[in-house]
Structure 1
């Protein structure tokens, strides 16, 4: 049942200092290949304007006599992701197409 006193789910920004990063790939003619058995995937770094926010459940109490309140804690924000592209093991690495985000990533 809904009520006027319901304040929703509390969200707290509390970075944990671990510095989450999936993987950073340097631009080169050689690309990283992930292999498992007979399958191969090329790894490609993708930058996006839509960030991925890592959330962790949290419980807070204003005092020891109050009921705990369940909420969410934002521990990190990730802007770079890795894309897996199926490849044959003998295929040459793809040529960079000069996309603006690839040029920007080289200067970082």
Structure 2
């Protein structure tokens, strides 16, 4: 019979101060980046947004707010109290409330101005 208690996985909230943005990649770009000869990507500004370019393809970057926050976790070790054997633990290093979406757009054409979307207006003030 074991004398150890199963108390679960220790969890702490320890923001690391890094600003994270998650980017959703289109399948064709992901495939190209994972290939043996990945393309060179450039990031350019336009009148209304940033544009990611690879050769003749271009994608406009759009911020999308999420209704559910995404929590980024990092494994760590916990030794509480210090005389105990270290055990696996988790740290929440960041909470992400919005993501970046890449929208395919014709090369050379400016991204359309977003109007009337309350969540995009709200995000600008954050």
Q: Which is richer in helix?
A: 2
Q: Distance in 1 between matches of 2:49 and 2:82?
A: 55
Q: Which runs of 5+ in 2 are unaligned?
A: 23-45
Counterpart Cα distance in 1 of 2:82 and 2:20: 36
Whole-Å Cα distance in 1 between the matches of residues 47 and 116 of structure 2?
13
Name whichever of 49-58 and 92-101 sits farther off. 92-101
Alpha-carbon contact 2:59-2:105 (below 8 Å) kept: yes
Alignment partner, residue 81 of structure 1: 99
CA contact (8 A) 1:21 1:80 kept: no
TM-score by length of structure 1 reads: 0.75
Q: How far 1:29 sits from its partner (Å)?
A: 5.2
Is the Cα contact below 8 Å between 1:10 and 1:70 reproduced in 2? Answer: yes
- What value does the CA root-mean-square deviation take over the aligned residues? 2.4
2:82 maps to 1:63: yes
Residue in 1 that maps onto 2:114: 96
Deviations 1:18-51 (CA, angstroms, capped at 9, x unpaired):
241429xxxx952211011222111001112211
C-alpha deviation, 1:84, in angstroms = 0.7
Q: How does the TM-score come out when normalised to structure 2? A: 0.66
